[in-house]
């Protein structure tokens, strides 16, 4: 995949996640708590929990562990979905 295709795929995924998080009239259906479990983050983003675990393991997504459970800071996760919180390294560089 070219970098442009990857960017388009990410943009589509973010748009889908935002639509899922918002109600049909564009208003949030209910406020999110300060931290959300990985499963809820997967629902919001339109990704699978395993896909988010991969992003966590390669350092693109920060999380908190409480026992065996994974939680994400809600504000940080929303910024990450919008692309405002960039990873420290470019994972595409690793694949080259």
- The tens-digit pLDDT sequence of the chain (96 residues) is 777 777 777 766 766 666 666 554 555 567 778 899 999 999 999 999 999 999 999 999 999 999 999 999 999 999 999 888 765 555 445 444
Give the per-residue pLDDT at 72: 94
Q: Which range of residues forms the domain containing residue 69?
A: 3-95
- 57: its two tokens: 């393991």
Give the per-residue pLDDT at 20: 62
Tell me the whole-structure pTM to 2 decimals.
Answer: 0.59
* Residue 72 backbone dihedrals phi, psi, to 5 degrees: -125, 140
Q: How far apart, in whole angstroms, are the C-alpha atoms of residue 91 and residue 87? A: 8
Hey, CA dihedral for 83, 90, 76, 61, is it positive or negative? positive
Domains identified in the chain, total number: 1
- 33: its two tokens: 């708590």
């Amino acid at each position: 995949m070219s970098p442009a295709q990857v960017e388009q795929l990410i943009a589509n995924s973010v748009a889908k996640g935002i639509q899922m998080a918002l109600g049909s009239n564009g208003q949030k259906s209910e406020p999110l708590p300060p931290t959300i479990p990985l499963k809820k983050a997967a629902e919001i983003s339109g990704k699978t929990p395993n896909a988010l675990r991969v992003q966590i393991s390669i350092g693109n997504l920060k999380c908190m562990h409480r026992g065996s459970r994974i939680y994400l800071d809600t504000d940080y996760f929303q910024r990450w979905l919008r692309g405002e919180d960039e990873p420290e390294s470019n994972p595409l560089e690793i694949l080259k």
